[in-house]
Amino acid sequence: MTTGRESTFYLPLRERVALRFLLEAHVPDLGAERAGLFGLLLLVRKPSLSRAELARAVFDAERTLAGESPAVVGNSLAAFCPPDEVDPADVASLMATRGVAFVADDTFEGLAWRGPDGFLSPDFQRACQDSLIAFDLPVFRERDELTDRVPRTIVRGTSDQVRALSAITADLGDRYAVDAYAGTGKTHLTLALFDTGRRFTYLTPWQAQREAFRRRAGRAGDEAVTLADLAARMARTFVRASGTRWTKAPRRQEATRTVAEQATMMGIPSIGRDTPEAVLSRALEAIRRWCGSEDRRIGYRHFHWPDHLPVAERASYVGWAVEAWEIMFALDERQERFGFPVRVYHLVKWLDLVGAGVPDMGTLLIDEAHDLPAPWLSLLRRYPGGYVVMGDPYQHLATGRTARPHDAKPLGMVESVRAGEQMMPLVRSVLRRHSEALMPDDIVGSRDRVTRHRLFGDNAIELPTAGLRVYGSLWSMLEQALRLKDAKVPYRFVEASAVQLVKATQDAIQLHMHGDRPRHYSLRGFATWTDFASHLVASGRSRVARLFERQFGHGNLQALMIGQAREGDALTLGLLEDAKNLEAGTVYMSPCCFSRPPGSRPTDGADVAVRAVYLAMTRVENELWLPYDWDDRLLDLAHQA
């Protein structure tokens, strides 16, 4: 198993030159490429050859073959390994497995291969692997009194990163939208901008991401703020400055009454087959959809209507949704009396509707922008300063399209600094399953990193015990976590996945022991234990059903959670949707990542499934483990959506 970082080994040979030799027996003029061909054929004959042996053979071959005629070289190579017996597809697979690559045209044409004596340079490998370029970044502090020059610092980055830095630092009052594939270095870009000494504020939706940024950024981390905290601050500022009758600012809160109680207090009647509770539930769900839209008013388009509902009744649902919204942000005591929940998305929608403004925070750097709802973009448009929204549209796991700021200039980052090119054909094949291309250029792998993939079967025994394991099912994650605990393999859960696992498992325990109706999404729709157990068996998880029937209880669940490794190396377990912002040397994708059993988190559209698989695949640095039939599973999953 690959545990450390391994660099790509480059043959001094361009791919088109290799193909021309294999298909047409054409011999190149350059001695370096003749030696590269010999190294390629040697690898075909001896796949287990070490890199040191391959490197020595290539260097020796150049001095032997450089001065010979093309005919002599062709005959020698053909006698060593006939090119017409070599399948280019097999060669490509072998090279990917061994971490061997051709040299890019631009690198070769830049003479990176040539040393002072005209032969291959001892620094050839390093020159090929280095894809970073230096950028002279202006640092906005006081001028040097002796030279009267603005201080500058040298930043190394990919060409995409340097291009973005150049544009953003040219005018920090401008607005940019950076679309960046996973692993292309958004954090490096952000830290470099903070190094300029200008005023920036880093905004992120997630508390964990803010803390991770603070750890990496040092003192600059003090300028990291979550969007939820910013929304709360804006609400307080607006109420203080508005002179309205609000006695206190709206704030996030949990529900203090059930939906049934709220419906009774509002006087909602039954409509058609819907009970008052069902009517209000539909209205609250419509409010949630409306809060993510640009619309100023709640309307029919925000509802998912039941088939049995007459058209004439729809206006009543809209009316109840409007009244519920007014209660949630009432000027009087009704909010507290009715006890509606107020989420961040409710608060942001309210801020947009009342015309609140984002306070002056310098240039805003907004991460995870692919998940920004339309009201946030509306608030940003009113911001007087500059901003940079950074995101990956393929990491938007919700249904619907990623919202984009209309007034921002586009920038792109496509070159990964996390995973090597060996894995990128897999990633590109997954993204081609998406109904439309969300970025104009394909993702490109790192030049200096080898990332391999391994396939495992249904009865695989040897699985990685380090890195990250990703699951599409809570129940598969529970089953494997219990096995790891019994085998005394150190493990820990991604925090967000642990929360979901505890909630779902507690619901399953209560359903089995007491018949309590579950609330978690993974058990929604199962009114009895028999129904849920039958579902587990039908979806291939009979062992999980037997687990609960053997009296797996709250104490066992608590022991599983307490048993997590608190420090040191441990296998990390997490759900597909919680894999954002993670990276690991080894990533294992469970077969359940490529299936959607009944009762799992609902999604509409094959595109969401494709994006979730892409998200998990791109966490890897060195080695990716996939089910042997992952491609067929993904195809089936797309058809199920």
Please say if the pLDDT value at position 558 is more than 70.
yes
As a whole-number percent, the residues of the chain with pLDDT over 90 amount to: 59
Taking the C-alpha atoms of residue 371 and residue 362, their distance in angstroms, rounded to an integer, is: 22
User: How far is Cα of residue 61 from the mean position of the Cα atoms in its chain?
Assistant: 45
- Measured CA to CA, the distance from residue 37 to residue 17 in angstroms comes to 9
Please list, in sequence order, all residues whose beta carbon lies within 8 angstroms of the beta carbon of residue 57, skipping any fewer than 6 positions away: 38, 39, 42, 49
Which tokens is 153 given? 């610092």
In whole angstroms, give the CA distance from residue 465 to residue 488.
Answer: 11
Q: How far is CA 535 from CA 475, 522, 523, 547, in A?
A: 12, 11, 10, 14
DSSP 29-93: S-HHHHHHHHHHHHHHH-TT--HHHHHHHHHHHHHHHTTS-HHHHHHHHHHHS-GGG--HHHHHH
Residues in the chain: 641
What CA–CA distance (Å, rounded) separates 527 from 467? Answer: 38
Cβ atoms of residues 14 and 105 within 8 Å: yes
Find the range with the poorest average confidence among 309-313, 384-388, 565-569, 578-582: 309-313
> Do 126 and 153 meet the contact criterion of CB atoms below 8 Å apart?
no
Question: Which of the 8 DSSP states describes residue 490?
Answer: -
For the chain, the farthest-separated pair of C-alpha atoms sits apart, in whole angstroms, at: 95
Mean pLDDT across 187-209? 90
Q: Is residue 3 within 8 Å of 453, Cβ to Cβ? A: no
Read off the pLDDT of residues 210-247 as tens digits, 9 standing for 90 and up: 888 888 888 777 789 999 999 999 999 998 887 666 56
Which DSSP category does 418 fall into?
A: E
pLDDT tier for residue 613 given thresholds of 50, 70 and 90: very high
Nearest C-alpha neighbor of 494 from the set 594, 441, 572, 438 = 572
- How far apart are the two ends of the chain, measured CA to CA in Å? 35
Q: pLDDT, tens digit, for every residue of 515-525? A: 988 888 888 77
Tokens of 252: 């996030």
CB-facing half-sphere around the CA of 580: CA atoms within 13 A: 23
Secondary structure of residue 441 in the 3-state scheme: coil
* Nearby residues of 600 by Cβ (< 8 Å), 6 or more positions away: 472, 473, 521, 522
Q: In the predicted model, what is the mean pLDDT of residues 153-162?
A: 86
Residue 634, token pair as written in the block: 């993904």
Is there a contact between 617 and 589 (Cβ–Cβ < 8 Å)?
Answer: yes
Tokens of 279: 């009517």
Question: Cα(410)–Cα(349) distance, rounded to whole angstroms?
Answer: 26
Using the structure block, give the residue that is written with the tokens 């559209």.
Answer: 605
**What single-letter amino acid sits at 594?**
F
Average pLDDT value for residue range 272-299: 93
Q: What is the arithmetic mean of pLDDT over 572-594? A: 93
Could you give the CA distance from residue 210 to residue 204 in angstroms, rounded to a whole number? 6
User: What is the pTM for the complete model shown?
Assistant: 0.84
Alpha-carbon distance 337 to 359, whole Å?
32
* Residue 603 confidence (pLDDT): 45
**pLDDT exceeds cutoff 50 at 121:** yes
- DSSP-derived secondary structure letter, 355: T
Helices H, strands E: what count in the chain?
25, 18
Whether residue 308 has pLDDT greater than 50: yes
Q: Which residue has better confidence, 130 or 481? A: 481
Mean pLDDT of the residues in the chain: 88
Residues with Cβ within 8 Å of residue 523, at least 6 apart in sequence:
504, 507, 508, 511, 532, 599
Of the two residues 246 and 84, the one the predictor is more confident about is 84
Q: Determine the pLDDT at residue 488.
A: 94
Q: Which of 68, 69, 13 is nearest to 42 (CA)?
A: 13
Write the pLDDT tens digit of every residue in 465-506.
899 999 999 999 999 999 999 999 999 999 999 999 999 999
Task: Give the HSE-up count for residue 94: Cα atoms under 13 Å, Cβ half-sphere.
Answer: 17
For residue 342, the cross-strand partners are 253
pLDDT value at 145 more than 60: no
Q: Are the C-beta atoms of residues 10 and 123 closer than 8 Å to each other?
A: no
Confidence of residue 598 (pLDDT cuts 50, 70, 90): very low
Alpha-carbon torsion angle 502, 508, 511, 512, nearest 10: -120
The answer to whether residues 182 and 390 touch, using CB atoms and an 8 Å cutoff, is no
User: 117, 88, 110: which is closest to 20 by C-alpha?
Assistant: 88
Residue 349 has pLDDT above 70, yes or no: yes
| Strands 133-138 vs 152-157: parallel, antiparallel or unpaired | antiparallel
Is residue 382 classed as helix, strand or coil in its secondary structure?
coil
> Which residues touch 602 (CB under 8 Å, ≥6 apart)?
521
Q: What is the pLDDT of residue 151?
A: 59
Task: Tell me if 77 sits within 8 A of 42, measured CB to CB.
Answer: no
Helix axes 554-562, 474-486, angle to 10 degrees: 70
With left for phi above 0 and alpha for psi between -120 and 50, is residue 303 left, alpha or beta?
beta
> How far apart (Å, rounded) are the C-alpha atoms in residues 475 and 378?
40
Distances (CA, A) of 161 to 157, 179, 394, 411, 531: 6, 12, 19, 10, 53
Per-residue confidence (pLDDT) for residue 304, from 0 to 100: 85
